[in-house]
């Protein structure tokens, strides 16, 4: 997956459009996280960038890494695993609209989100 370099700033991230994760619980949006830094940790532990206080989430569950080439998720040997589009993955390069499963939460990856 490639992201058009016409949208990249000098630090490698989108200027006009940037990727984000939309957190869903029972189909309702509960949180949105803009992928505006190179590495975002997700887990039950309070030290994570994205803290999810739920027993189905490991203390250090997964990381989302964003580079000039796109974003990917990597499972950190979590107990319940990381699911992308209904398939358990260890590492997965995102495409726009991918659905990630973490415990009872679903996350939608949106690639060219524009910040207003």
Q: Residue 43: name the closest of 25, 61, 22, 24 by CA.
A: 61
Q: Residue 80: name the closest of 51, 56, 60 by CA.
A: 56
Are 12 and 98 within 8 A, CB to CB?
no
5, two tokens: 């370099």
Which of helix, strand or coil describes residue 7? Answer: helix
115, two tokens: 């910040």
Rounded to an integer, what distance in angstroms lies between the CA atom of residue 111 and that of residue 71? Answer: 9
Sign of CA dihedral 35, 40, 41, 44: negative
Q: What is the pLDDT of residues 15-60, one digit of tens each?
A: 446 889 999 988 899 889 999 889 999 999 999 999 998 899 999 9
Phi and psi, residue 5, nearest 5°? -70, -15
Are 53 and 45 within 8 A, CB to CB?
no
Share of residues in the chain with pLDDT > 90 (%): 59
Sign of CA dihedral 19, 23, 28, 31: negative
Lowest mean pLDDT among 9-13, 40-44, 63-67: 9-13
């Amino acid at each position: 997956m490639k992201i058009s370099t016409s949208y990249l700033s000098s630090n490698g991230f989108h200027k006009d459009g940037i990727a984000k994760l939309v957190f869903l619980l029972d189909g309702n949006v509960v949180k949105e996280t803009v992928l505006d830094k190179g590495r975002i940790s997700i887990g039950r532990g309070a030290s994570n960038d994205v803290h999810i206080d739920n027993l189905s989430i490991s203390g250090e569950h997964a990381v989302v890494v964003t580079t000039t080439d796109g974003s990917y998720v990597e499972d950190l040997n979590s107990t319940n695993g990381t699911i992308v589009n209904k398939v358990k993955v260890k590492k997965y390069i995102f495409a726009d609209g991918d659905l990630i499963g973490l415990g009872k939460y679903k996350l939608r990856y949106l690639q060219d989100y524009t910040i207003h």
